[in-house]
Amino acid sequence: MSSVLRVSCTECGACCAAFRVSFHKSELAHGEVPGVPVHMAVHEVNNTMRMCGTDESVSRCVALVGEVGKQVSCSIYQNRPSPCREFGQLADVGIYEEACNRARSRHGLPPLPVESW
């Protein structure tokens, strides 16, 4: 019987240290309205912001806590921007994006099974 490698996102975190994370400025916190903390984002172009650290040569989101591939968390999980909410939505039930494996390979992590949609 073959076994299928399955991880939870809190044991991975590769996507938070691999890709640029851009989002509309309306997702920033303002006044009493929760959102991405202003100090964690930089202006990109027009109405677009970017999570600090995600456009570096060695990418790592400023909000990521922990060690990729071991134990991680997002320090702004409740207020993370929309690309983070949309990416890998089904990963915790074992259905991974093809991009998960691209991110994981950048960290020397083994590929996960990719479901066809």
Would you tell me which residues interact with ligand SF4 (CB under 6 A)?
7, 9, 12-16, 21, 51, 61, 63-64, 74, 76, 80, 84, 87-88, 91, 96, 100, 103-104
Nearer to ligand SF4, 30 or 92 (CB): 92
* CB-CB contact of 7 with 64 (8 Å): no
Least separation, in Å, of the C-beta of 104 and ligand SF4? Answer: 6
Smallest separation, CB 107 to ligand SF4 (Å): 9
Spell out the residues 6+ positions from residue 106 whose beta carbon is closer than 8 angstroms to its own: 14, 17, 18
Least CB distance to ligand SF4 at residue 32 (A): 21
Closer residue to ligand SF4 (CB): 1 or 21: 21
Taking the least distance from each CB to ligand SF4, the nearer of 35 and 104 is: 104
Closest separation between CB of residue 88 and ligand SF4, Å?
2
Count of C-beta atoms within a 10 Å radius of residue 105? 13
CA-to-CA distance for 53 and 66, rounded, in angstroms?
Answer: 15
Residue 90's closest CA among 108, 116, 69, 65?
116
Give me the residue label for tokens 């920033």.
28
